[in-house]
Amino acid sequence: MKLGNTELKGRAALAPMAGITDRAFREICISYGASYVTSEMISAKGLTMGDRKSGFLMKIGEKEMPASIQIFGCEPDTLALAAKAAEQTGCIAVDINMGCPAPKVAGHGGGAALMKEPELAAKIAETCVKSVGIPVTCKIRSGWDENCINAVELARMLESAGAAAITVHGRTRRQMYAPPVNYDIIKEVKKAVKIPVTGNGDITDGESARYMYEYTGCDHVMIGRGALGRPWIFKNINEYFETGTMPPDPPIEERMSVMLKHIELLCEYKGEYVGMREARKHAGWYIKGMRGAASFRREIGALETREQLKELAEKVIKSCDE
């Protein structure tokens, strides 16, 4: 798949996830072969008002390229200003969030709430497209609820508005992240538009990625929760498509080494106090399924220093070797 002038290498992209896909995690995923990564969603209003947190979220570095910046909101002119600011970072595209189900976003007219306002969604896309010289993409859901499955209608409108590509999460806003994924709606969107379509939802390995590609005919796939504590999933999927065989997850030593590197980057970019507190959730994902994971989670909840994390990693390795 090609996004603007960027030829994407790799079979899967990293989905934007609030509080997760920060600079540290994006760098790790790119190092493991993610085709591209997307920032955490950034408030267009906060950005244009000079909000410090929004500005921090927009920072990207060379080691995480190619990267896209995702913005959210419901005011076309405000989103256009945010898109211009995003373009200045050197990102390959600006993505508009039209699928976030969180009440604090959808409850204020942004995210998935735009599924109920397709004309407004199209206006936002058109205004942003006219304001920047890089591709503008949109991430949508299948619809608002079971009575409003309108991804095909909205996709056509977004294409007409100038969107360069569309990502479809095959669930409604009401479903949040509950099964099942509606692969048929992604397939219908792909048939309805000429621009690239990315399939998103429950991709956890090479087989599920292949199924998404083959069943829906989509041009690319995007991975969200399947990458939590498993950034090597991108490398595994790339190898699966090349060889037909799904490689196993890395040995425990490598998994712990990746975790330590990830948290080092977190602390480098956010400081140890903030980094170590955010490290707790990531550490929990890295040890998921390992022997003694339940008892280790109690220790994870009390982590405050990188030295404590190193000691924990050694315990995990020793536990799995016994």
Q: What are phi and psi of 281, to 5 degrees?
A: -70, -40
The verdict on whether 148 is a catalytic residue reads no
Q: List the beta bridge partners of residue 249.
A: none
Q: Which residue has the tokens 């373009």?
A: 87
Q: Which residue has the tokens 């909000």?
A: 51
121 vs 153: CA distance, rounded Å: 11
Sign of the alpha-carbon torsion through 230, 15, 41, 63? positive
Residues in the chain: 322
Helix residue ranges, H only, the chain: 23-31, 44-48, 52-57, 76-87, 103-106, 118-131, 151-161, 183-192, 206-216, 233-243, 252-270, 272-286, 293-300, 306-321
Q: Which residue has the tokens 């989103």?
A: 79
Q: Which of 319, 317, 318 is nearest to 250 (CA)?
A: 317
Annotated catalytic residue within 91, 100, 128, 267: 100
123 vs 73: CA distance, rounded Å: 12
Instruction: Return the active site residues.
Output: 100
